[in-house]
């Protein structure tokens, strides 16, 4: 198959996934559609190495993981996260609930390695799923390598409707308070709560015209290299995944002014990086036979159900302690199943369904959206990558 034909087919599949997600307002996840189409392709006429033929071999995927995780670190503002400390505790408690339930009840129903592979994708996104999938493949666990991809693909089906239901209950309660004069609009812009602008303090005297796309890529790559170097230096004493250090170094580099926030987007590289990375993770489905898919169905459903029950119970109790409603606490925990931008989309859809008054919409969003955004960033961006870096060492 010619390279450009392979790339065109795969890019077309990703577009179809996006199109259906937009038409269904994200109720059908784009990644699910893409996985179904690619799986059908592998079972029919796709060559097994179609992703590599299209130009995304493992070496390129590894490079993009370093860049994307470092870029994730630039998206986090320590100051704004401090303001949402309750949300952080709730998000972490929900993740602890998943871990506790899967390491207690889960290990009685499935084997330990299945649980280890399931947890990071269940509390995170594409990066943690890829880390666990590659780790399982390297350990010779082919079925679990596919399982890591499938659980990432399917968890949104549980997360989206549950989040919508509990957010509607929360929104109705807040709307009633607002109409009764008990709730005020928060002054801070919603998105600014998390995605505050940052300064390049270390290059403050450099004219902006010299801050080219190549310079942005250079600085991002340099920080990724530092993370890799430190991980290698520490290897004789302690094993720390370079991906975890990429996240930490990204936060540090942004706080000291070496990197700007969302640097990969500003370098016009984020879209292609995500396209290539999604193709690479879906490439893990090439070994998924119909028999294998039926084999992993039981642990797939079981892990998701146990994880959600654990999230609800733990978030309920921490919400009681912090005086946060059980609906909002559960919604924040559920962001682990999909992260950004689905948390943003679902929250806006719920608010739009509750009222058409612009002031009421702003009031609801000012109270509901910041916790949802922070919850998604904490679980998907930070904790899942850290867990994947730890758990992959036990496979």
Q: What is the pLDDT of residue 77?
A: 64
Of 305, 280, 8, 373, the closest CA to residue 151 belongs to 305
pLDDT digits (tens, 9 = 90+) for 41-53: 999 999 988 999 9
Of 223, 209, 204, 212, the closest CA to residue 267 belongs to 212
Is the predicted pLDDT of residue 187 greater than 70, yes or no?
A: no
Is the predicted pLDDT of residue 193 greater than 50, yes or no?
A: no
Q: What is the pLDDT of residue 190?
A: 42
Which one is predicted more confidently, 271 or 182?
271
Residue 249 and residue 226 in contact, taking contact as beta carbons nearer than 8 Å: yes
Is the predicted pLDDT of residue 238 greater than 90, yes or no?
A: no
Q: What is the pLDDT of residue 343?
A: 77
Give the separation between CA 284 and CA 156, rounded to whole angstroms. 19
Give the separation between CA 204 and CA 213, rounded to whole angstroms. 17
Is the predicted pLDDT of residue 7 greater than 70, yes or no?
A: yes
Is the predicted pLDDT of residue 12 greater than 90, yes or no?
A: yes
* CB neighbour list of residue 309: distance below 8 Å, 6 or more residues apart: 97, 101
Of 254, 255, 256, the closest CA to residue 264 belongs to 254
- DSSP for 319-385, written as a single string: HHHHT--HHHHHHHHHGGGT-TTHHHHHHHHHHHHH---HHHHHHHHHHHHHHHHHHHIIIIIIIHH
Average of pLDDT values for 171-190?
74
pLDDT digits (tens, 9 = 90+) for 52-98: 999 999 888 889 888 988 887 787 666 666 777 888 899 899 999 99
H helical segments located in 235-341: 242-255, 263-266, 270-282, 290-322, 326-334
Q: Report the alpha-carbon angle 347-352-94, nearest 5.
A: 15
- Residue 25 pLDDT grade (very low, low, confident, very high; cuts 50, 70, 90): low
- Residue 270 pLDDT grade (very low, low, confident, very high; cuts 50, 70, 90): confident
| 53: Cα within 13 Å, side-chain hemisphere | 15
Instruction: Report the predicted TM-score, pTM, of the whole model to 2 decimal places.
Output: 0.72
Residue 267 and residue 221 in contact, taking contact as beta carbons nearer than 8 Å: no
Residues of the chain with pLDDT > 70: what percent?
92
pLDDT digits (tens, 9 = 90+) for 355-367: 888 888 888 888 8
- Average predicted confidence (pLDDT) for the chain: 85
Is the predicted pLDDT of residue 2 greater than 90, yes or no?
A: yes
pLDDT digits (tens, 9 = 90+) for 81-94: 677 788 889 989 99
Phi-psi region of 262 (alpha: psi -120 to 50; beta: other; left: phi over 0): left
Is the predicted pLDDT of residue 189 greater than 50, yes or no?
A: no
Average of pLDDT values for 226-252?
85
């Amino acid at each position: 198959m010619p390279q450009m034909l392979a790339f065109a087919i795969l890019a077309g599949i990703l577009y179809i996934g996006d199109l259906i997600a937009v038409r269904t307002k994200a109720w059908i996840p784009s990644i699910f559609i893409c996985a179904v189409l690619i799986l059908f392709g592998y079972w029919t006429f796709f060559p097994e190495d179609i992703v590599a033929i299209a130009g995304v071999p493992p070496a390129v995927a590894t490079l993009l993981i370093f860049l994307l995780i470092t870029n994730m670190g630039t998206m986090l503002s320590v100051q704004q996260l401090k303001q949402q400390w309750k949300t952080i505790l709730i998000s972490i408690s929900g993740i602890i609930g998943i871990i506790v339930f899967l390491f207690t009840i889960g290990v009685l129903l499935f084997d330990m390695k299945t649980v280890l592979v399931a947890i990071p994708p269940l509390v995170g996104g594409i990066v943690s799923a890829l880390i666990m999938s590659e780790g399982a493949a390297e350990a010779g666990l082919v079925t679990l390598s596919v399982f890591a991809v499938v659980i990432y693909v399917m968890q949104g089906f549980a997360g989206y409707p549950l989040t919508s239901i509990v957010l509607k209950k929360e929104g109705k309660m807040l709307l009633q308070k607002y109409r009764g004069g008990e709730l005020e609009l928060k002054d801070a812009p919603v998105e600014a709560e998390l995605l505050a602008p940052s300064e390049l303090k270390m290059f403050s005297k450099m004219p902006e015209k010299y801050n080219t796309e190549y310079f942005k890529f250079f600085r991002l790559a340099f920080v990724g290299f530092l993370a890799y170097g430190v991980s290698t230096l520490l290897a004789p004493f302690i094993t720390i995944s370079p991906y975890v250090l990429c996240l930490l170094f990204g936060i540090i580099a942004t706080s000291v002014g070496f990197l700007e926030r969302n640097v990969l987007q500003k370098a016009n590289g984020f879209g292609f990086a995500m396209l290539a990375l999604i193709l690479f993770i879906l490439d893990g489905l090439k070994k998924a036979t119909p028999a294998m898919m039926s084999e992993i169905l039981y642990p797939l459903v079981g892990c998701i159900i146990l994880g959600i029950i654990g999230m609800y119970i733990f978030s309920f109790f921490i919400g009681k302690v912090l005086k946060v409603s059980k609906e909002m606490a559960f919604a924040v925990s559920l962001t682990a199943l999909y992260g950004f931008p689905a948390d943003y989309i679902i929250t806006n859809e719920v608010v739009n369904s509750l009222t058409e008054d612009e002031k009421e919409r702003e009031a609801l969003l000012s109270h509901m959206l910041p916790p949802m955004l922070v919850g998604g960033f904490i679980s998907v961006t930070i904790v899942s990558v850290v867990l994947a870096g730890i758990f992959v060492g036990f496979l």
